[in-house]
Amino acid sequence: MHKHLLAAVAAVSLALPTAALADNHADPLSAQADHALHHDEAAWDFLEGITTEVGPRQAGTEAEARGRVWAMAWLEERGFANVADEPFQMQTWVRGEETAWISLPFEQPMHITALGNTASTGPDGIEAEVVYFPSYADLEAAEPGSLDGKIAFISHDMRPTQDGSGYSFAGPARWTGPGLAASKGAIATVIRSIGTENHRTPHTGGTSFPEGVEPTPAGALSNPDADNLERMFTRADGRPIWMTLVLTPQWLGETTSGNVVAEIVGRDPSLPPVLVACHLDSWDLGTGAIDDAAGCGIVSAAALNVAEAGQPLRTIRVLMAGAEETGLWGSEAYSAAHIDEPIGVGMESDFGADRIWRFESNFRETNPDLHARLAQSVARFGVANSTIVATGGADINISRDQGGAIIDLQQDGTRYFELHHTPDDTLDKVDPVQLRQNVAVWTQVVGILANEAGSIQTGE
Amino acid sequence: MHKHLLAAVAAVSLALPTAALADNHADPLSAQADHALHHDEAAWDFLEGITTEVGPRQAGTEAEARGRVWAMAWLEERGFANVADEPFQMQTWVRGEETAWISLPFEQPMHITALGNTASTGPDGIEAEVVYFPSYADLEAAEPGSLDGKIAFISHDMRPTQDGSGYSFAGPARWTGPGLAASKGAIATVIRSIGTENHRTPHTGGTSFPEGVEPTPAGALSNPDADNLERMFTRADGRPIWMTLVLTPQWLGETTSGNVVAEIVGRDPSLPPVLVACHLDSWDLGTGAIDDAAGCGIVSAAALNVAEAGQPLRTIRVLMAGAEETGLWGSEAYSAAHIDEPIGVGMESDFGADRIWRFESNFRETNPDLHARLAQSVARFGVANSTIVATGGADINISRDQGGAIIDLQQDGTRYFELHHTPDDTLDKVDPVQLRQNVAVWTQVVGILANEAGSIQTGE
C-alpha cells in the first residue's frame, strides 16, 4: 500500500505532466500512466459517446455499422493514423418477439430472452410440458428420447467469481445445453440465465447445436423467474407444469460487418506491432457499455497516452473487432486477412471496466526479464504478478494462430456477470475510478512493449 | 442493544413456546412475539405461495380474482373465521404494447412502461420532438401552449430515503406531471422512473389528468434510459431530439374486484375490532412480493400469533384490500360498506418487508398510557418511539373516515423504491430475517391492542 500511496501523491502533483516527478516515476511513460489514473478523459469519452450516440450495436446490423462510423470518426479526431474499416461477411441472426408464460397449474408470465442462433417457435408459439434439470449434469444423464415433445428447463446456477471461472462452470448450460436437450427430443429449451444477479433482466448470448441436430427455440429466463419455476415444481407436487413459449428470431442471411483498425505509427514500422484489441459490436439488449465499449475506450486511451509520452518504437495497432458476440466473426476475419503479418504481442480488454488485479503473459519462461519488468511496472496500481499462462481473449485469434506473445491484464470480474448480455449493460454501471485504473495499467504495459526493441516472446 | 440481546437469548430458549421464560417475557403474547422473530412460517408461506402460484394480480383482472380465491383458501386453511370476498365494481385499465425509441439525432431504443390511466398512441405510435424538463418545477414554469405537438420529458430525480419521503419529493412527476404537460399542449409525456435504482426496469404507477384535460399517452423510462436521454440533450448541442412512442393501453370498462376479509373472533365481539390491512392486488409487471403480498403475510401471521397466545378480547379483522394500485378502489369500497361499524384501531402494512424502525400513533396525547406501553413493548425489536402523528396507509380509509385510532409501524423504506412497481418486485427481494422482525413487532402490538378493554383512542 505504501507504494500505492506514493503513486497517488505523485499523481496529485502531476496536474501538469511536465512537473517535477518523484524518483521512481522519472520516465515520461510512468508519469503518463500515473496521470491517467486521475485524469483520463479519452476512455470515458469513447464509452459515453458510443453508448449515448449509437447505443446497441448488434453484429451484422445497421446499428453495428453506425458504431463503426462513429468509432472511426472518434479515432480520426483523436489523431490516430490509418483508420480503416475492414469489411467481412457474416450470417446474421436477430431477435423477434419473446414471451413465455406458465399455463398450468400456476398461470403467470415469465421474463425470457432468446439465445443467439436459435430457431423460431412461429408467431403462434408452442405449449408443452416442462422437464426440470437442476444442473447440466442432470440433463446429460437424461435418456435419449426422454424429452420427446417436451421443453427442457436447465436451471444450472452460477456464482460470482473474481476470475470469471463461474462462466466456465455455468456457461455450458447456454453454450451446448439447448443442443443437448434437442438431441434427446426436446422441442425447446429454457435455461436459467447465465448471470449472478437477481434482476428481471434475462441474459442472452450465443448457443450452438451439434451437427445433425435441428436447432430448436431456446431462451434464458431471468434468475427470479427461474427461482419461481423451481418453486412451482415443489408446489405442484407432481402435477405437470406447462409452458407457452413465443420466440420468433430470424436469420437475415449474409450481411456485412467489419473490423475497425487504427494506428499510432511507431518510429520503426518494420518491427511487429503491439496489437491492442476489443470488440465494437454488442448484444442488442443493452448499450454495450461494459461489453465492450469500455474495452475499446481503455485500449484507445492507453495508445494515445503512450504516444503522448513520446512516439513509440513500434506501431500500436488498435483492433475494434466486429461481430464478436455471435461467433468471433471479426476476430477470425482479422486473423485470416493478416496472418502473414507478424504481431509483436496481442492484448485484449473485454471483461468490463472494474480494476485490473493480475498480470499474466505467455512468455514468462521465454523472456523472464521482460515479464518481470512489466509485472513490476504495474505493481503500484495494485496488480499482482502471476504464473498463469496468458491465453488471450476472443478478439486476438491472430496471436493464437501465429503462436505469438500474449498478455492478459485480468480485470476483476466479480460484478461482470450481473450485467453481461442484459439490458442493464449501460454506462451508469461503469465506475470511472476503476476505468481510470485500467487506462493507467494499459498505458504502462503498452508503453513498455511498444518501446521494446527485441522479440517480446524471446527477448532476442 | 442489551435488551435486544436478552430477547434473542430468550427466543433461543423458546424452541418450545411452553419453555421457561425470562422474567421480562413472562406473558404469553411477548413470548409469542419473540418466537416469531426466529420462527415465522406463516408470513413467508403466504408470500411465497401467492407470488409462486398466482403471480401478478392486477386490479380488476382475472389474475386479481385468482389472488382472492388463493388468499381465501389460505386464510381458511390457517383457521381464520368469517373469510369472505366483498365484491365491488371498478374501471379497469390494462397495459398494451410499449416501446420507445429515439429517432433523431441518435437512434436507439429506450425501455419504457405505460403509466396507469393513460391514453393510447394507437398501434402506429406517435413521433414528436422531446422537450426536456430537469425537474417538475421547470415544467411548472413552462408557458401555456409551449408544448403544443411535443413530448414532455420530466427527468425529476429521486433519492432513497428511509422514511419514504423521497416519494413525496419525486412522486408529483408521475402523479400529476403528465396532466400538467398535457395542459400546456404536450401530446405525450415521458418521465424518469420514480425509483432509486439504476436498472433497466421502468417503474409504473398511476397518474391522473385534471378535469377538462384530455388524457394523453404517458410512460416512465428506466433510470439508465433517462440518464441516456439527458446525455443526448448535452451531446445534441441544440439539435432537436425526436422520439417515437408506441403505448397501447386500454380501458376494459367496469369489472369486478373485491376485498378479502377474515377474522380472529374475540371473546367480546361487541367491542370495535382491531383492523389490520394490506392490499392483495399488485401491479402487473412484478409478482407483487413487496407490494404487497409481504404486508398481507405480515398482518395475517401476526393475527394468528396473537390467537396462538390465547383468544384475544377484541376481534382482529384482516382486510386484504383489492385494487389499491389503480386508485384505492378497495379501501374506498370497504369504508363505504362498513362506515357505520366502528373500528377500534386501524393499521396497515404496505411498504415492503424491511425492518420496522419507528412506532407512531395518532393517540399519543389522548391515550398516553397506551401509546407508551405499545412503544415500550417493541423497543426490544429496535423500534423507536416517535412524536409523529400516524395518518395510516392507503387501505385504511375507513379509520380516517371515522376519525378513529391509527398506528403506523414504519418500515425501513431505503430499498423500497428500487423495486416498487417494477418487474423486479419478486420474492427473492424479501429478506426473511427482516420479514420476521415485522411479524414479531406486529404480533406484539396487535396482541396488546386486541386485549385492550377501554377505548384505544381515549383510554376511557
DSSP 8-state code for residue A292: I
In chain B the first and final C-alpha atoms are separated, in Å, by 35
Residue B1: pLDDT above 80? no
* Mean per-residue pLDDT, B404-415: 98
What does B73-127 look like in DSSP terms, one character per residue? HHHHHTT-EEEEEEEEEEEEEE---EEEEEEESS-EEE-EEEPBTPPP--TT-EE
Sort out which chain A residues have CB atoms less than 8 A from B63's CB and list them.
107-108
Report how far residue A16's alpha carbon sits from residue A20's, in angstroms, rounded to the nearest whole number: 9
Residue A421 lies in a domain: yes
For residue A4, the model assigns a pLDDT of 39
For an interface test with A, the pick among B45, B108, B221, B230 (most A C-beta atoms closer than 10 Å) comes out as: B108
Please give the grid coordinates belonging to residue B270: 361487541
Which of A233, A248, A263 terminates a domain? The answer is A248
Chain centroid offset of residue B248 CA: 26
Q: How confident is the model at residue B25 (pLDDT cuts 50, 70, 90)?
A: low
Residue A399: pLDDT above 70? yes
Report how far residue A426's alpha carbon sits from residue A415's, in angstroms, rounded to the nearest whole number: 13
* Mean per-residue pLDDT, A185-210: 98
Residue A15: pLDDT above 90? no
Residue B347's identity, in one-letter code, is: M
Residue B316 lies in a domain: yes
| Cβ-based interface (< 8 Å): residues of A facing B | 48-49, 51-56, 63, 66, 106-109, 111, 198-201, 223-224, 227-228, 231-232, 235, 286-287, 422-424, 426-429
Residue B380: pLDDT above 50? yes
For residue B129, what are the β-bridge partners? B242
Q: Which residue of B has its CA nearest to A233?
A: B52
Coil, helix or strand for B254?
A: strand
For residue A26, the model assigns a pLDDT of 72
Nearest by CB to A428, from B227, B427, B428: name it.
Answer: B227
Report how far residue A68's alpha carbon sits from residue A63's, in angstroms, rounded to the nearest whole number: 9
A223 to B199: CB separation less than 8 angstroms, yes or no: no
B235 to A49: CB separation less than 8 angstroms, yes or no: yes
B428 to A223: CB separation less than 8 angstroms, yes or no: yes
B182 and B292 fall within a common domain: no
Report in angstroms the alpha-carbon separations of B94 from A97, A107, B171, B178, B293. Answer: 20, 18, 21, 18, 21
For an interface test with A, the pick among B53, B197, B198, B425 (most A C-beta atoms closer than 10 Å) comes out as: B53
| CB proximity list for B214: less than 8 A, separation 6 or greater | B119, B182
Q: Which of B6-20, B175-189, B322-336 has the lowest mean pLDDT?
A: B6-20
Residue B460 lies in a domain: no
Tell me which residue of B188, B102, B122 sits closest to B153, measured CA to CA: B188
Angle subtended at Cα A251 by Cα A247 and Cα A255, rounded to the nearest 5 degrees: 145
A73 and A111 fall within a common domain: no
- How large is the ipTM? 0.91
Q: B240-283 pLDDT, tens per residue?
A: 999 999 999 999 999 999 999 999 999 999 999 999 999 999 99
For residue B61, the model assigns a pLDDT of 98
Residue B126: pLDDT above 80? yes
Report how far residue B454's alpha carbon sits from residue B35's, in angstroms, rounded to the nearest whole number: 28
Q: How confident is the model at residue B216 (pLDDT cuts 50, 70, 90)?
A: very high
Q: How many domains is chain B built from?
A: 2
Q: A290-341 pLDDT, tens per residue?
A: 999 999 999 999 999 999 999 999 999 999 999 999 999 999 999 999 999 9
DSSP 8-state code for residue B133: E
Q: A89-115 pLDDT, tens per residue?
A: 999 999 999 999 999 999 999 999 999
Burial B434-451 (b: 16+ CB within 10 A, else e): bbbbbbbbbbbbbbbbbb
Handedness of CA A410, A411, A417, A419 (dihedral sign): negative
DSSP 8-state code for residue A382: T
Task: Give the pairing type, strands A356-361 and A274-279.
Answer: unpaired
In chain A the first and final C-alpha atoms are separated, in Å, by 35
Q: Which helix (H) or strand (E) holds A134?
A: none
Which of A205, A233, A248 terminates a domain? The answer is A248
Task: Give the pairing type, strands B126-133 and A316-321.
Answer: unpaired
Contact between B412 and B162 under an 8 Å Cβ cutoff? The reply is yes
Report how far residue B258's alpha carbon sits from residue B60's, in angstroms, rounded to the nearest whole number: 8
Residue B17: pLDDT above 50? no
* Mean per-residue pLDDT, B304-310: 98
Which of A189, A218, A248 terminates a domain? The answer is A248
Report how far residue B358's alpha carbon sits from residue B355's, in angstroms, rounded to the nearest whole number: 9
For residue B89, the model assigns a pLDDT of 98
Report how far residue A54's alpha carbon sits from residue B220's, in angstroms, rounded to the nearest whole number: 22
B120 and B163 fall within a common domain: yes
Task: Give the pairing type, strands A356-361 and A242-247.
Answer: unpaired
- To the nearest whole angstrom, how far is the Cα of A425 from the nearest Cα of chain B? 9
For residue B15, the model assigns a pLDDT of 39
B108 to A198: CB separation less than 8 angstroms, yes or no: no
Angle subtended at Cα A185 by Cα A184 and Cα A188, rounded to the nearest 5 degrees: 110
B127 and B86 fall within a common domain: no
For chain A, helix (H) and strand (E) counts, in that order, are 14, 16
Residue B106 sits in a domain whose CATH number is: 3.50.30.30
Contact between B286 and B243 under an 8 Å Cβ cutoff? The reply is no
Q: Which domain holds residue A436?
A: 2-92+253-450
Tell me which residue of A110, A109, A114 sits closest to A98, measured CA to CA: A114
Sort out which chain A residues have CB atoms less than 8 A from B286's CB and list them.
200
Residue A457 lies in a domain: no
A108 to B200: CB separation less than 8 angstroms, yes or no: no
For residue B298, the model assigns a pLDDT of 98
A85 and A100 fall within a common domain: no
For residue A18, the model assigns a pLDDT of 40
Task: Give the pairing type, strands B151-154 and B188-192.
Answer: parallel
Residue A25: pLDDT above 70? no
Burial B166-193 (b: 16+ CB within 10 A, else e): bbeebbbbbbbbbbbbbbbbbbbbbbbb
B70 and B124 fall within a common domain: no
Number of other CB atoms surrounding residue A183 within 10 Å: 17
Q: Which of A44-48, A271-275, B38-42 has the lowest mean pLDDT?
A: B38-42
Residue B239 lies in a domain: yes
Burial B272-306 (b: 16+ CB within 10 A, else e): bbbbbbbbbbbbbbbbbbbbbbbbbbbbbbbbbbb
Report in angstroms the alpha-carbon separations of B357 from A47, B381, B414. Answer: 42, 8, 12
Coil, helix or strand for B42?
A: helix
Please give the grid coordinates belonging to residue A313: 518504437
Residue A455 lies in a domain: no
A80 and A126 fall within a common domain: no
Alpha-helical regions (H) of A276-416? 294-308, 329-338, 368-377, 397-402
- To the nearest whole angstrom, how far is the Cα of B199 from the nearest Cα of chain A? 6
B103 and B226 fall within a common domain: yes
Residue A456 lies in a domain: no
Report how far residue A167's alpha carbon sits from residue A180's, in angstroms, rounded to the nearest whole number: 18
Residue A9: pLDDT above 50? no
- Average predicted confidence (pLDDT) for chain B: 94
Q: Which of A13-17, A23-27, A159-163 has the highest mean pLDDT?
A: A159-163
A295 and A322 fall within a common domain: yes
Residue A38 lies in a domain: yes
Residue B73 sits in a domain whose CATH number is: 3.40.630.10
Tell me which residue of A456, A451, A444, A452 sits closest to A298, measured CA to CA: A444
* Mean per-residue pLDDT, A200-209: 97
Q: What percent of chain B has pLDDT over 90?
A: 94
User: Is pLDDT larger for residue B5 or for residue A216?
Assistant: A216
A29 and A107 fall within a common domain: no
Q: Work out the widest C-alpha separation in chain B, in whole angstroms.
A: 76
Nearest by CB to B200, from A53, A109, A423: name it.
Answer: A423
How crowded is the C-beta side of B64, counted as CA atoms within 13 Å?
A: 31
| Cβ-based interface (< 8 Å): residues of B facing A | 48-49, 51-56, 63, 66, 106-109, 111, 198-201, 223-224, 227-228, 231-232, 235, 286-287, 422-424, 426-429
A34 and A85 fall within a common domain: yes
Contact between A250 and A94 under an 8 Å Cβ cutoff? The reply is yes
Q: B139-174 pLDDT, tens per residue?
A: 999 999 999 999 999 999 999 999 999 999 999 999
How crowded is the C-beta side of A11, counted as CA atoms within 13 Å?
A: 22
A355 and A295 fall within a common domain: yes
For residue B26, the model assigns a pLDDT of 72
| CB proximity list for A237: less than 8 A, separation 6 or greater | none
Q: How confident is the model at residue A17 (pLDDT cuts 50, 70, 90)?
A: very low
Q: What percent of chain A has pLDDT over 90?
A: 94
Nearest by CB to A199, from B55, B63, B201: name it.
Answer: B201
Q: Which residue of A has its CA nearest to B223?
A: A428
* Mean per-residue pLDDT, A258-270: 98
For an interface test with A, the pick among B58, B99, B199 (most A C-beta atoms closer than 10 Å) comes out as: B199
